[in-house]
Each structure stands twice: as C-alpha cells, then as structure tokens.
Chain A
Amino acid sequence: MQSFRLYGKYLKIHFLSGLQYKGWFLMTIQVLFVVITDPIGILFLFSRFGQIGVWSVEKVILIYALAVTSFGLAESFVRGLDIFPWQMIRTGNFDRLLLRPCPLLLQAAGSSFHIHRLSRSFGGLVAAIWCLRLQEVEPTLLNALVITLALCGGFLTYTGVFILTSGLAFFTIRSLDWIYIFTNASYQVAKCPFDYVPRLLRNVFTFFMPMLVVSYYPAAAVCGWGQPYWKGLLALPAGLTFALFAVSIWRIGVRHYQSTGS
C-alpha cells in the first residue's frame, strides 16, 4: 500500500515537472490526433467494401480499441520502464535507484510520466464504447466485468512488455527494436480481422504475449461471436502470468547489472 502511495508521489512530481514546460496541453491534443488518425485506414477500407466476411467495421475497431486502451494505460503509468534502458542504464543513473530503500520496479516505472499519454486510452475507450453500442451489447454486470478485466489484463500485459524491455536492456545496454513487435506493432495486428491473422501470429499473440486474450476473446464473449465467457475472463490471469514472467527476466537483469558493474 505504501508503495502505491509512493508511486503516486512519483507521478505527481513528473506531472508538476511537465507543467513547468509550456505546451503540455498541445502535446495532449497531438497524441489525441495520432490516436484518431491511426485506424483511419480500416475505416476507409470498410467504407469502400462494407463487410469482409462476417467482419464489420465495428467488430474490428472494438478489438483494436481494447488493445489500444490497454496499451495507453500501460504507456501512461509505467512509461518509465520503456525509456528506462536509454536513460538509466547507459548513463549509470540506475545506481541511484539501487541506493533508495524502495522497490526498483516501482522507481523505474515512476521515473517518467506524461499526462498527455492518457489521451490514447481515452480515445480507445470512447471507440470501444461506441462499437459496443453499435452491436447492441447489453450493459449487464457480467459484460461490464469482462471488459473491465480485459483492460486490467491488457494493462498488465503491456506493463509486462515494458518490464521485459528494461530487463533485457541490462544485457544489451541499448533498447531493442524487435521488442516493438510487442508494443506499438502488436495492436496493429488487431486491425486485421481475427480469422485472417496468420496462425503463427495468432499463436504468438495468444500463448506468448497474450494481446488477443485481452482484446479478441473478451470482445467475442461480450458480443456473442461464438466464444464462451470463460475465455473472455482469461484476460486477467493471462496478463498477470505474462507480467510475472517479465518480472523474473528483470530480476535476472538486475543481478547481472550488480555483478558486472556499469
């Protein structure tokens, strides 16, 4: 509990730092613009062809929106882990974190925070709700629960990706480009109708990094696309498992750092 309070204080100090620079408001609008324009390709495609098989635009956008919202949440709250390799390990500032009596992951996660990143989640959430309404999904308690847990699981999944990035950076010192497959590139996969995603990609994003478990399955369960509810509810445990896996890699990384020096 105390950790969460401390994390809040970290966010506060970054929030205040952000306000020190003028133009933070423009940044918020800028990110929102990127978020809105990103799926525009699908919108054009569907407006031209109507439907692709059973896939209508609101189905595709719903899956995409769920993934984007989760990514946005993780990006807002644990962004520090993403920038971490560049900033901290290379400059040796990681030493400073080791000198403070609180959890390292918390400090790394709290090492950066920008309020404008939240506009991605905001945009995603609005789109998701719009799609759910178009498909006339009943706002039952169960449905709300599935969607909420999907977002929690998604947040954990993407947090896991960021932790993994930082953990691997202890060995490579630089951040890794291929890890973007699991960050910004991963929700692009959700733009493709699920049935047409190649089997390999589908397996990677289901069984390794559970992006589809936190977006497609909950959406399918809620909208009644022939997936059972229990699969939709797997989002949280799947996200948690992936995050814990990432934490174990991170731990090995920290030990490697301490024994090889900076």
Chain B
Amino acid sequence: MELITLSNICKTFKVSQRPQGRFAALRGAFLRQTKTIQALDNVSFSINQGELVGYIGPNGAGKSTTVKIMSGILTPDSGICRILNRVPWQERVKHVANIGVVFGQRSQLWWDVPVKDSFDLLKDIYNIPLPEYSKRLQELTETMQIGSLLSTPVRQLSLGQRMRCEIAASLLHNPQILFLDEPTIGLDAVSKLALREFLKTENKKKGITMILTTHDMADIEALCSKVLVIGHGKILFDGELSELKQLYAPFRCLKARVSQHIEPFPVPEAEQVSFHGDTLSVVFDPGKVPAHALIEYLSHHIELNDLVIEEQNIEAMVAHMYKELSL
C-alpha cells in the first residue's frame, strides 16, 4: 500500500546576497539582492507501508526541504504530495498527529525539566490515553534503556542519552511514519549500533514506515532496503541498495595471503592488481569474470593460504557516485 506519494514537487527559495564592491555592506543594508535557488526540481517518488527508506545526497541537495514538505512545515510551489491520504500542509493538525519527526540537531524536549515531564506534556499534546501512554512508555524505556534518565533534566544529558530520549519522545504517540533527519550525527559507535538495532526492530514489530536522511553510509547499509539519492534538487536514483551498488560499485575485491614471495603477474579480466608484501589484491567485476574462475586461475599460479572477497566500501562508492553525477 502506498503511504507516501510525491509527484513533481518543486520548491524555490530566495537567498539574499550582499552586493560586491565598495561599501557593499552599506549598500546591502538598503538594496536587497536576492538569488532564487531551486531547492527541489520535479521530485517524485512513492513509499510503501513498512518500508525503511534511506534518503541520501550531498549537503544542500534538498533532503531537509523534502522532509519539511512531507512533514507539513513547508508548502511547495507546485506538485502533489499525499501522505496517509492527506495533503500535509492543508490538514496540518491531523497530519502531524500520525507522524513522528526527529531532527538530529534540534531537540524537542524541554531543556530545563526532567525527561519524564517532557514526556508527560507530549502525552497531553498528542492526547494519548493514559493506559496506552503508560504501556508505550514502559516499552520504550525498556528497549531504549532510558529508565534511569527519566528524572534527569534534559540539559544534563549526554548527546547519546538525549538522542535516545528524543527518539522515544517521537514514538510515544505511535506514529505510522517516522522521519529521521540525521539521527546518528555526533553519536559514538556503541550508541549508533544501539540506535540502528532499535529502529530496525521498531520497523519490523510495529511496521512503522521510516525515512532516514543521513551522511553515514553505515546507517543506510544496516537499515535501509530502499534508497533515494537526491542531488541539485532532483531525484537521481530510486531503488534497492543492491541495485545502487550494482550501478556504482559493481566491483569486488579479492584479497589473498600467499606463502612465497611472488613476482607480479597479469590477471586476465581484472580491473586492478596489486601486491603489498604477502597480500595480493585483485579488483574484479563479477559480471565479467566469476569469482570461481578467478580463484581457479590464481590457484594455478600461486599457493593461496587465505582469501576473502570484499564488497567495495560504500562510503567510497557514494563519493564516487557524487563525483560521477557531478554533485
């Protein structure tokens, strides 16, 4: 079932600019020069119920703008957006009651009071019945391990602790859709892993549809089945992560440890061959030469002690992709 549909969404912003030259700042105070920036250019995509979608793109590509439009904060210039059969900016109150939004860089909790007080206020804001609220709160405190934090004022929490509370806060009202704007920004490795694990189980168990914008490719790899790539306000890729890899990182890297010292020798159909001490690495395209053929060929020439086949690093792949698409 299609939960979210965007078609031909366009959005422009006016950015004011200071004029160049002498007395520029002074002139700028009286004459305003603005430049129009096309933030979103005919963006169309659709997301089904229960999908966990990664939304990636370089800085300033339009990720946050799309999230803001989908959550009803901004009105697009043109185009159609229907979420849960509503137009977000036309039925704001009904729409936002069914979504949760986590901004990695902004807090939705009240700074000076204990976390529990913020949660209680959210209960009233979302009008959650008490039994449901207590049950949900208990569930979230257990899985997010925030039981001991509930009585601490938010300003005294560490970033990782706060982020766990933020996510719990955005799920209190059982939203059908959760938007996460860079949720893992600034978190340490342990917190990141815990957060991913939590999002995954929540998605499986409750079937919450999640849209995640991030710069951390490990997030995408660990969580997302579907990936959207945006650049210069246009959707450049919409599909499975494996397809994206097929397109931009088709190569595999075979690394082998050899027992004797060997002279470099040519490997047919290989993209790149290199020797580092006793390690041999061969980058190859499984489409051109299957792994078994390559291993067979290599074992004819040298003694292979140990061997692994790795996928190309996803970070590198994305960097390569951004470059190729000249983003």
Contacts and interface: CB of A to CB of B under 8 A. Distances in A.
Interface of A: 2, 5-6, 9-10, 13, 16-17, 20-21, 92-93, 95-96, 98-102, 255, 258-261
Contacts of B96: 98-101
Contact of B127 (A2, A10, A258): A2
Contact of B68 (A21, A95, A255): A95
B97 interface: yes
B93 to A, nearest CB: 5
Nearest to B77: A259
Interface of B: 11, 13-14, 39, 65, 68, 71-75, 77, 89, 92-94, 96-97, 99, 101, 103, 106, 108, 110-113, 117-118, 120-121, 124-127, 153
A102 B92 contact: no
B93 A13 contact: no
A17 B124 contact: no
A260 B112 contact: no
A129 to B, nearest CB: 36
B14 A98 contact: no
A202 to B, nearest CB: 35
A101 B125 CA distance: 7
Contact of A102 (B39, B106, B125): B125
Given A2-B127, A95-B73, A260-B14, A101 B94 contact: yes
A102 B112 contact: no
B117 A13 contact: yes
Contacts of A100: 96, 125-126
Nearest to A94: B73
Which label, helix, strand, loop or mixed, suits the secondary structure of the B interface? mixed
Given A16-B113, A258-B75, A261-B65, A92 B121 contact: no
Given A99-B108, A101-B96, 13 more contacts: A5-B124, A9-B120, A9-B124, A13-B113, A17-B111, A98-B96, A99-B101, A258-B74, A258-B89, A259-B74, A260-B14, A261-B11, A261-B65
The 3 lowest CB-CB distance pairs between A and B, nearest first, are A17-B112, A101-B97, A258-B75
A98 B72 contact: yes
A13 B121 contact: yes
Given A92-B106, A101-B96, A261 B125 contact: no
Contacts of B126: 100-101
Contact of B73 (A2, A6, A98): A98
Nearest to B112: A17
A151 to B, nearest CB: 28
A6 B127 CA distance: 9
Contacts of B118: 13
Nearest to A255: B75
A201 B262 CA distance: 97
5 contacts: A16-B112, A17-B112, A20-B112, A99-B101, A258-B73
A76 to B, nearest CB: 19
A14 B226 CA distance: 42
Contacts of A96: 106, 108
B14 A13 contact: no
A260 to B, nearest CB: 7
Contacts of A259: 74-75, 77
B106 A6 contact: no
B113 A20 contact: yes
Given A5-B124, A93-B106, A101-B125, A261 B68 contact: yes
A17 B94 contact: no
B106 to A, nearest CB: 7
Nearest to B120: A9
A174 to B, nearest CB: 13
A17 B73 CA distance: 28
B93 A102 contact: yes
Contacts of A261: 11, 13, 39, 65, 68, 74
A228 B62 CA distance: 63
Nearest to A95: B73
A95 B68 CA distance: 8
With most chain B CB atoms within 10 A of its CB, the pick from A17, A92, A100, A259 is: A100
Contacts of A102: 93, 125
A100 B89 CA distance: 13
B92 A10 contact: no
A105 to B, nearest CB: 13
A20 B156 CA distance: 13
A170 to B, nearest CB: 14
A246 to B, nearest CB: 21
